């Protein structure tokens, strides 16, 4: 017996991951709204808080995005005054500005809020296990 389209979609890993992605994006956008930026921009600033002057290509690898995508994101952060860059040959290092550093407590609060919200819906252990399973399988599919 063949499945109907809804059953086919719901049993497709690609479709179900995208469905989860959209649901998490909605929660993340709500949590990060008070910061005035999307989570991806905020994650760039958090990465720089840990290691200021990080190479742009390394930030792209950490975030699993294309270097050209990161370039556009960094350019917007420069425009808003949150980061500066220093080019040496073909490499670019990214640095937090004072304005960017001052935003870090609000970003951390938004990130904590996101964790609280999805763990309230999924449960702490389940959310942690799901993140581990997704990370493990993402590496297998790379």
Average pLDDT rounded to a whole number, residues 115-133? 97
Is the predicted pLDDT of residue 3 greater than 90, yes or no?
no
Number of DSSP helices (H) and strands (E) in the chain, helices first: 7, 3
Helix (H, G, I), strand (E, B) or coil at 31: helix
Average pLDDT rounded to a whole number, residues 1-23? 90
- Cα(37)–Cα(82) distance, integer angstroms: 11
Q: Using pLDDT thresholds of 50, 70 and 90, give the confidence band for residue 142.
A: confident
Task: Assess contact for 64 and 134: CB atoms under 8 A.
Answer: no
Is the predicted pLDDT of residue 30 greater than 70, yes or no?
yes
Q: Indicate the pTM of the whole model.
A: 0.89
37-84: per-residue pLDDT in tens?
999 999 999 999 999 999 999 999 999 999 999 999 999 999 999 999
Domains in the chain (CATH in brackets) are 5-141 (1.10.10.10)
Token representation of residue 134: 């997704």
- Cα(8)–Cα(11) distance, integer angstroms: 5
For residue 64, CA distances in Å to 22, 36, 59, 79 come to 17, 23, 9, 23
């Amino acid at each position: 017996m063949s499945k109907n389209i809804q059953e086919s979609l719901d049993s497709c890993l690609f479709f179900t991951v995208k469905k989860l992605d959209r649901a998490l994006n909605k929660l993340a956008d709500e949590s990060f709204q008070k910061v005035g930026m999307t989570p991806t921009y905020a994650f760039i600033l958090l990465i720089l808080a840990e290691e200021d002057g990080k190479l742009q290509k390394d930030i792209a690898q950490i975030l699993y995005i294309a270097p050209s995508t990161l370039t556009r994101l960094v350019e917007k952060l420069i425009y808003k005054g949150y980061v500066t860059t220093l080019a040496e040959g073909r490499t670019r290092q990214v640095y937090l500005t004072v304005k960017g550093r001052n935003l870090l407590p609000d970003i951390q609060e938004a990130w904590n809020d996101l964790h609280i919200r999805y763990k309230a819906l999924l449960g702490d252990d389940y959310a942690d296990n799901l993140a581990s399973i997704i990370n493990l399988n993402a590496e297998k599919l790379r």
